[in-house]
Structure 1
Amino acid sequence: MDAATCVLAKFGEIALKGRNHRWFENTLIRNMRHAIGVRRVDIRRRGGFLIVSTPHLESAELTHRLRQVMGLTVVQPAVRVPFTADAAAEAAVGLLRDHPGPSPTFAVRVRRRGKSFPLTSDQLAAHIGARICREFGWTVDLRAPELAVVVEVDPTEIFVSVDRLPGQGGLPVGCTGRALVLLSGGYDSPVAAYRSMRRGLQCDYVHFTGAPYTDPASTYKAYALAYRLSRYQPRARLHIVPVGRGQKALATSGSGPMQTIAQRRLYLRVAQRLARRHDNQVLVTGDSLGQVASQTLANLAATDGACDLLVLRPLIGWDKQEIIAEARRIDTFDISALPDEDCCRLFTPPEVTTRAVPTELAEVEARADIDALVEDALAQAYSIVVNPGSAAADGLLQDAAQQRVHPL
């Protein structure tokens, strides 16, 4: 067998799933194939990791795509070599010769699964280390090396690598259910969507606009955010729901300081209908306890009273700086920072109650005929399939841009 490049894709939490392990692993492999995006991909199973190779992608690009897959804890580009110490040493020298940076201290770490190999782990490490010293003159530091050569000995082959990169971790998308995320244009809800995916939820999105009283800027942002998040899961559906008329009806029905909570209850009612229509089992929001007046404990409870579906809040204990830091890490920050006309600020009262009373909200909703408002919003809603390279999605966005904006 000649030397060949591949990537070792390692998972952590899946290994603890007992009898369900194979189902989780199959879900992970399906998502990996989708993320790699080429027809000819070879994925071989090993205990605790997968060996991935394809002739259609360079190792760096294959590694990059696999690092976006939920459920993988480590993504390790490697060279697969024959079952000999000299082949492993030759591969290590070749990898280090191309490795950027100054001459470092180094160590060789050997993990020997193939117990039939003639050398022990320490003997193989010493053999490879001696070859590296002869080639480069580098210094060995077993405690805190600047660079580690990782050698994994399987029963019939050896894998050598010098890069051990973190993956997304968590569980494979789709293994715990389907969620509908209330996606605004802000920082919080995209991060909530990401954290939900990381726990295995397949996410669709619903975005509420203030149309016909606002421009379509927020729709563009919502699509851009959903598109950016699509790197972490297979394709998703984005529902666009104009609620401007409903918001105005609530305001003219005497909602006063409860307007924001009344609006959020309208969003949940509509989202629940869409979720049931499209087999989403839970709703997800970006709420953080106490971050704004509408997210006090009393207001969150009053909001949840408008729907029967479970509402998950992955960021409930996060502060704003933690959320913004995560938005930067997952690359949604720049999109969220773009200006738009947020429907939540439409008809906002001078003061927002921090302790909404459910009975008073029910009276406002009765005067506004909340059921009719929900039906009106659903009648105006449309959906976009968020799929990279989809011309249909771009066409729908152009349609959205042509919505007329009416004065209040």
Structure 2
Amino acid sequence: MNSRCLIVCYGELFLKGRNRPEFVQKLTNNINLSFQKNNFSNFSIRKLHDQLIITAKDDKELPKMIPYLKKVFGISTFFLAYQLENDYEKLCKFVESITDYYEINFTTFKFDISRSDKTFPKNSLTLQKELGEIIVKKQNLKVKLNNPQTTFYIRIHHQFILFFIEKIKGLEGLPVGSSGKILLLLSGGIDSPVAAYQLMKRGLEVVYLHFYHEKKGQEKIFALSEKLSPYNNFSRQVYLVDAQPLFTEISHISQAKYRLIILKRMFIRCAGLLARKLAITALATGDSLAQVASQTLESLGVIQQASITVFEPVKALTQKAIELHHDLERDEKGIINKILC
């Protein structure tokens, strides 16, 4: 029986030039951590050209790892593949017995073949024709080059051949921790978790700061950090600050709009002090432009006059875009909904 493996492809890491090995190593470490946290053992991760290959002592464990790879930033696509010997005859035998490996619940197909091993005795076009004939004869299926129900992918390397039928989309972005740490003011609403997710996608490990005036709201903050933790390298570091003294300090200000602006300004100042103690060089908020009076351009300019960089990942999004998260690609809307529910 042919063994299986998981192949991980990374997207943006190609752009990192001389620093690419560091980013790839960080991605490898993050995948390792995710598997270990979810009680997987006896697996290995190694580099394969510009991809990572994951193998396990028991390859039945590999499909169980897929949900956890979906939560690791820095992965463009990945797939579960059969690993065959680099041998034309054995490849043909595998295709002849395809029903031993895959359920045939489709009627049309095509082959997508590429060779990094140019010494392989057949070129891609010839392989497509000959392997296609085997499938048509053995399984009574039809070749359809445009929009087939199933695509058989074959990747021919010098050491082995990979055969798979599904590419699984990853979260893309950069590996969490590759860009450092950031301190996020977590309010407990919808905006700041979306901001956290966006920051993680850019390789930042997020540390949370919450200002509270009632202790009963703390449970929600801890729950949010817990739900975000699989995307954040399992970090759930939360700092809580009692905001009641700040409310008391500004209670003499008559206009509510100015009270809120000054309060948020004080939050930023306090956050800056904490960030310095934690050796964190930037802050982030979930502020979005012009939702309320304290989030106009002028108000945000006053609030964020700080001696430390302040990021606003959702600043340019409309409230509807934040709620539905339509601007994120693929099924990330569903990811955010799961975090918030």
1:88-119 Cα offsets, whole Å, 9 max, x none, are 34545666666568423211100111112111
**Residue 54 of structure 1, CA deviation:** 2.1
Distance 1:239 1:5 in 2: 44
Map of 1:47 onto structure 2: 49
Map of 1:64 onto structure 2: 67
Contact 2:257 2:293 in 1 (8 A): no
Contact 1:180 1:206 in 2 (8 A): yes
Distance 1:86 1:106 in 2: 21
1:55–1:207 distance in 2 versus 1, CA, 3 Å: farther
1:182 aligns with 2:181: no
Map of 1:343 onto structure 2: none
Query: Secondary structure of 1:260's partner?
Result: helix
Contact 2:106 2:149 in 1 (8 A): no
1:128 aligns with 2:131: yes
Residue 294 of structure 1 aligns with an amino acid whose one-letter code is: S
Deviates more, 1:8-17 or 1:256-265: 256-265
1:242-279 Cα offsets, whole Å, 9 max, x none, are 21232132123546431111111121122112211222
1:160 aligns with 2:163: yes
Map of 1:283 onto structure 2: 283
Map of 1:304 onto structure 2: 304
1:277–1:125 distance in 2 versus 1, CA, 3 Å: same
Distance 1:155 1:181 in 2: 47
- Between Structure 1 and Structure 2, how many residues are aligned? 331
Residue 225 of structure 1 aligns with an amino acid whose one-letter code is: L
Deviates more, 1:34-43 or 1:320-329: 320-329
Contact 1:255 1:262 in 2 (8 A): no
Distance 1:52 1:334 in 2: 28
1:91–1:294 distance in 2 versus 1, CA, 3 Å: farther
Distance 1:138 1:329 in 2: 37
Please tell me whether Structure 1 or Structure 2 has the larger radius of gyration of its CA atoms: 1
Contact 1:6 1:78 in 2 (8 A): yes
**Residue 136 of structure 1, CA deviation:** 2.3
1:298-346 Cα offsets, whole Å, 9 max, x none, are 01000012x2110001111111222122397253436646xxxxxxxxx
What is the RMSD of the two structures over their aligned residues, measured on CA atoms? 2.2
TM-score (norm 2): 0.90
Map of 1:193 onto structure 2: 196
Distance 1:330 1:94 in 2: 38
Alignment of 1:110-121 (within 5 A): 110-121=113-124
Query: Secondary structure of 1:288's partner?
Result: coil
1:64–1:93 distance in 2 versus 1, CA, 3 Å: farther
Q: State the percentage of identical aligned residues.
A: 28
TM-score (norm 1): 0.76
Query: Secondary structure of 1:176's partner?
Result: coil
1:87–1:276 distance in 2 versus 1, CA, 3 Å: farther
Alignment of 1:7-406 (within 5 A): 7-37=6-36, 38-55=40-57, 58-91=61-94, 99=102, 102-210=105-213, 214-216=214-216, 218-236=217-235, 237-254=237-254, 256-305=256-305, 307-326=306-325, 329=333, 331-333=335-337, 336=340
**Residue 233 of structure 1, CA deviation:** 2.5
1:259–1:246 distance in 2 versus 1, CA, 3 Å: same
Map of 1:353 onto structure 2: none
